[in-house]
Amino acid sequence: MLYREAGVFKTSYAKDQETFPIPFDKAGYFLALIVAFGVIPFLVNDYWANAILLPFLIYAIAAIGLNILTGYCGQVSLGSGGFMAVGAYATYKLMTAFPDLNMIIVILLAGLVTAFVGVLFGLPSLRIKGFYLAVATLAAQFFLVWLFNKIPWFYNYSASGQISAPERVVLGFEVTGANAQPAVIYLFCLCFTVALAWVARNLTRSNTGRKWMAIRDMDIAAEIIGVNPLMAKLSAFAVSSFYIGVAGALLFSVYLGAAEVGEAFGIQKSFLVLFMVIIGGLGSIFGSFAGAAFMVLFPVLLKNVMVGQLGWATDIAAHFEFIIVGALIIIFLIVEPHGLAALWRIAKEKLRLWPFPH
């Protein structure tokens, strides 16, 4: 009753192919956009921006990126942390080499650099599949982290080996550096997230997305009906790495401000993004958001309950957090392998009939 599609008829194929064919969904989507752009910037404070909103927006980009590769094209990757590092270091090098370059362009260029690196490490996917490919991307992860540690040129020979983002201004507002306002950073990231999610949706509903899914579901059949496997896989690696690179660039420049590669972009990051995609739902853009929200919000919530409400010691709470999140991941894999996106779909189907059972 609350959620219905009855009485919704489409009279053209263009209408039928809309992202939100059901008016209720469409209204919800626009409402969310209005709240995100029009309400939250006026309410946001430092804690909310840094603990929840920024990580959510940035990891959502990374999760969409990995979902394109793993969820849509079926190529498992454990190299997300390394590719985020490429985005971050490309941003750093571009920011320091071209101080006048607009930050938006810097971040997009960093994405392109990562896309190129992603294609290079995607080449083995033409020969190997599944777990073996995962191991190959794991090699990328370790190699890239090692590279950024080993060669001082990447961190401009700084004594600490760290990279730190200089202050940059976009449209008169500071977006990086210590003085950037939370509302400005939030809006800056939100624009990237919304634009990239929209692009991802367009790609996945078009011919490009169908080629990826064809490769994922049955690569031999895909090739026989005319999909060039080389182009399909490498384009998925390129697009996916672009997203992950942009996420890494934002994470470093506007969120962290300074980073050390092993700490900020280690193997934990790869697993974090992979968990987001698995918990959110493979092959779903909504799922990427849901997974990012879950993995960002849940630890914060647990910490607030255990430390704030129950008054436990911080280190005990941190250990419990690991146990609970780990257990939840296992439960998700067993109970709902298609993730939060599938749960949401089931909830919608129940809502269609509610409160009558038939």
Partner 1 sequence: MNAVETFTTPDGRTIGGPVMEMRNITLRFGGVVAIKDISFDIREGEIRAIIGPNGAGKSSMLNVINGFYHPQEGEVFDHGKKRAPMRPYQIAHQGIARTFQNIALFKGMSTLDNIMTGRLTHMKSGILSHILWKGKAENEEVVNREKVERIIDFLEIQTIRKTPVGRLPYGLQKRVELGRALAAEPKLLLLDEPMAGMNVEEKEDMSRFILDVNDEFGTTIALIEHDMGVVMDIADRVVVMDYGKKIGDGTPDEVRSNQDVIDAYLGVAHD
User: Which residues of this protein are in contact with partner 1, per CB under 8 A?
Assistant: 12-14, 17, 199, 202-203, 205-211, 213-214, 216-218, 220-229, 235, 239, 283
Least distance CB 17 / partner 1 (angstroms): 6
Strand ranges, E, within 14-82: none
DSSP codes of every residue in 100-121? TS-HHHHHHHHHHHHHHHHHHH
Least distance CB 248 / partner 1 (angstroms): 21
Least distance CB 12 / partner 1 (angstroms): 8
Neighbours of 21 (CB within 10 A): 13
Binning the chain into helix, strand and coil, the percentages to the nearest 5 are 75, 0, 25
Distances (CA, A) of 170 to 73, 167, 264: 35, 10, 25
Nearer to partner 1, 187 or 196 (CB): 196
| CA 39 – CA 30 distance, rounded (Å) | 13
Least distance CB 218 / partner 1 (angstroms): 5
Sorted by sequence, the CB contacts under 8 Å of residue 41 that are 6+ apart come out as 183, 186, 187
Question: Both ends of the chain: CA-CA distance in Å?
Answer: 11
Least distance CB 117 / partner 1 (angstroms): 19
Nearer to partner 1, 281 or 291 (CB): 281
Nearer to partner 1, 14 or 43 (CB): 14
Nearer to partner 1, 104 or 138 (CB): 104
DSSP codes of every residue in 198-233? HHHHHHHHSHHHHHHHHHHH-HHHHHHTT--HHHHH
Nearer to partner 1, 14 or 323 (CB): 14
Least distance CB 298 / partner 1 (angstroms): 28
Only one residue has tokens 């934990």, namely 268
Nearer to partner 1, 6 or 220 (CB): 220
